[in-house]
Structure 1
Amino acid sequence: MNDSPGWATPGSPSDGRGSDADRPAAQPSAQPAQPAQPSDPGSGSGDSKWSAAQPPAGQWSSPAAGQTPPPAVPPQQQAPGWGTQPAPGSPYQYPGGWGGPPPAAKPGVIPLRPLGLGEILDGAVGTLRGHWRSVLSVSLVVAALSQLGLLLAQRAWLAELPVADEDLTPSQAVEVMGNTALVYAVQYYLEILGLVLVTALLAPVVSRAVLGQASTVSGTLKAVRPLAPRMLALTALMLLGAIAAVLLPTLPGILAGSAVLTALGIPVGFVLLAWFYVTFVLAPPALMLERGSAVAALKRSAKLVKGSWWRICGISLLTWLIRTITAMVIVMPFAGLALFAAPEGLSGLLDGSATRSWTFLIISAIGGVIGATVTVPMQTGVTTLLYIDQRIRREALDLELARAAGMDGYATTATERPGG
């Protein structure tokens, strides 16, 4: 029984919808079954419709005595027999190899079937390219706010630190390490916060791109506005959970004042953080597209990720690497400009005094804003498409998406779906 709430509730394969349960039962035949012949490609029926219109295989039999056999199909239109390879360009030559199913319908940026890695990445890039006004408008605002917070943290905690060529006392060295760690922690959690917000805000855009529909900035804001309180609640829960995942393993060492015990808890905290992030990474699109509560979105994400944790983790990690490398390429020219514009130049970068310069920090922040504006939507698009892919695999969401896209005659060609 399918219990998915809210947006585009599909029929579950276990309900008999979207599977062989809605086909007529095969009638027994006295003659041996013959292989079904595809309909004439020139008859006007689409590739995704003819297979659903065929009678069951058990109804195919030889004509009875006295009946006129059907006219012969011209040789150029006959289906290839067993052991023969269809000629290139033949109507029986399907993508993915001879004898495979017809291609899935593709009203938007992805085909309506379980997705591969390349299709997920291509769909995320296609959404950014085809809906760039809505995507870049949202990501620019979030990226600017994140960089502003990071800039203030850098100025507050790094501006008064001693430079590297000064003799540091043990207490000063600990202070330098602690403040630097705080800045990196702020940067990391601001990144998580930005990813959650952009994923939630752009989920309606990605869903419309999947259906092949246009989106506007005003339409996106109109769709998001009623869910803003729940979106902020979900963001706060995910941020607190990510902080707790890192702090809890180190808390015994901190309370006991043991540096060794604290150091041993750090890798455990990173493992818990990775588990937490992947388990609940689908919560933002679940909240925006199913319109439930923040807690329901977290539960929904955990349910969809269950059994596919490593696959979702691998795709998310690969996307993060691609995004990070692309952002570094974008930021490098701004870092070079900031280096030359800083009062101390290269020496200031080496001894750490450049972090005290507003010129260096502002130019670097501008580069960070541009890099995040362009690359963050790719990661958030992948997350939303992973959510859709999991529902296609488990709940036959492709049938509901096809109906939403106006493809009333669409029927899936797959009778069995890979689990997770």
Structure 2
Amino acid sequence: MPLRPLTVGELLDAAVGLLRENAKTLLAVALVLAAVEQVALYPLRDLAAVRPPTYFPPYTDHLAEYWLMIGAGYATEVGIIALLGGLAAQAAAASITGQARTPRAMLSPGGSRLAVVAIISVLVGLLGGLGALACWVPWIFTYGLLGLAVPAAIIDGKGPLGAIGRSVVLSSRVGLRACWIRLIGYLSWLAIRMGLGFGGLAALAFFGVPYTTRWVTVTGIAVWTVVNTVAYATLACLDSVLHLETRMRTEGLDISATLARRNNRPIRLAVS
């Protein structure tokens, strides 16, 4: 990651680059979490009488169940991205300090501050789900303002509540810049996910996969699992590089890191 403030396009590129360098670990964990999410949401989707690939409600008398499914889906999305942020933040910090982290070290409960990351993930997931249930307007700000909480815990060394507060502070700087960039990243990957999700099932049908209810359900879950795996991992990486870039832009992290390198001193990322 370059030691300077970045444009929006450069931030998105840096996120993809971070994922590429740590693909095995991030994608493996993301795949497991995305699969668990699909299984967990299946009963709610069945209750709402929706089917892949669109999951749109066919009957107006199931709108209450559908709305509950929507809230649960947004809660799991936000929570999974936060969980993956624990791994992405370690990788992003290593790219600055030069202290490489092995996959085993990244997954170690102690070294990854798993308990703190889990608490933050549950909190932001619940807030994200409630925000979606409240007609999405609160979700815009809960998603935009709380995305840097896990990087703040891993990189800045904050506790759960301190990390959430730190995320709000960083995301609010420079006219809510980090907040809007995080939303841009989410919407960009939402469009990609919808295209790949809908198109993936259409491609399977083109190659002769039976278009029965059972097969559509199974293949729909499989396609969305794969698509979400990449999306969640990339968005987690975006949160981490956005956190570091915001500190460079507003706190001079790039200057202190450059001076430390020139003087052969360790780069300290934690804040008091």
TM-score, with normalisation over the residues of structure 2?
Answer: 0.81
CA distance in 2, matches of 1:236, 1:124: 24
Question: 2:123 is matched with which residue?
Answer: 237
- Cα 1:224/1:122, change in 2 over 3 Å: farther
1:179 correspondence with 2:65: yes
Secondary structure of the equivalent of 1:158? coil
Secondary structure of the equivalent of 2:158? coil
Question: 1:324 is matched with which residue?
Answer: 190
Runs of 4 or more off by more than 6 Å in structure 1? none
Q: List runs of 5+ in structure 1 lacking aligned partners.
A: 1-109, 160-172, 248-265, 344-356, 411-420
Deviation at 1:403, TM superposition (A): 6.2
1:118 correspondence with 2:9: yes
Question: 2:36 is matched with which residue?
Answer: 145
- Which letter does structure 2 place at the counterpart of 1:408? N
1:93-143: CA deviations, max 9, x gaps?
xxxxxxxxxxxxxxxxx2211222122111111112222112212211221
Deviation at 1:292, TM superposition (A): 2.3
- Which letter does structure 1 place at the counterpart of 2:136? F
Matches for 1:333-348 after TM superposition, within 5 Å: 333-336=199-202, 337=204, 340-343=209-212
Of 219, 231, 239 in structure 2, the residue corresponding to residue 375 of structure 1 is 231
1:408 correspondence with 2:263: yes
- Percent identity over paired residues: 25
CA distance in 1, matches of 2:104, 2:190: 30
CA distance in 2, matches of 1:226, 1:396: 26
Deviation at 1:283, TM superposition (A): 0.6
Matches for 1:88-103 after TM superposition, within 5 Å: none
Secondary structure of the equivalent of 1:308? helix
Q: List runs of 5+ in structure 2 lacking aligned partners.
A: 51-58, 266-272
- Which letter does structure 2 place at the counterpart of 1:341? P
Question: 1:284 is matched with which residue?
Answer: 150
- Which letter does structure 2 place at the counterpart of 1:342? Y
Deviation at 1:215, TM superposition (A): 4.0
Question: 2:178 is matched with which residue?
Answer: 312
Question: Taking CA–CA contacts closer than 8 Å with sequence separation of 6 or more, which of the two structures ends up with the larger relative contact order?
Answer: 2
- Which letter does structure 2 place at the counterpart of 1:239? G
1:300 correspondence with 2:166: yes
Deviation at 1:285, TM superposition (A): 0.6
1:148-195: CA deviations, max 9, x gaps?
212232234427xxxxxxxxxxxxx65322222222222222211211
Query: Is the 8 Å Cα contact of residues 280 and 298 (structure 1) preserved in structure 2?
Result: yes
1:22-51: CA deviations, max 9, x gaps?
xxxxxxxxxxxxxxxxxxxxxxxxxxxxxx
- Which letter does structure 2 place at the counterpart of 1:279? L
Matched pairs, number = 256
1:234-265: CA deviations, max 9, x gaps?
12222233344456xxxxxxxxxxxxxxxxxx
- Which letter does structure 2 place at the counterpart of 1:393? R
More helix by share: 2
Question: 1:48 is matched with which residue?
Answer: none
Query: Is the 8 Å Cα contact of residues 72 and 129 (structure 2) preserved in structure 1?
Result: no
Query: Is the 8 Å Cα contact of residues 15 and 241 (structure 2) preserved in structure 1?
Result: yes
Question: 2:93 is matched with which residue?
Answer: 207
- Which letter does structure 2 place at the counterpart of 1:321? L
Deviation at 1:387, TM superposition (A): 0.9
1:361-397: CA deviations, max 9, x gaps?
2211111111111222222211111111121122221
- Which letter does structure 2 place at the counterpart of 1:139? A
- Which letter does structure 2 place at the counterpart of 1:231? V
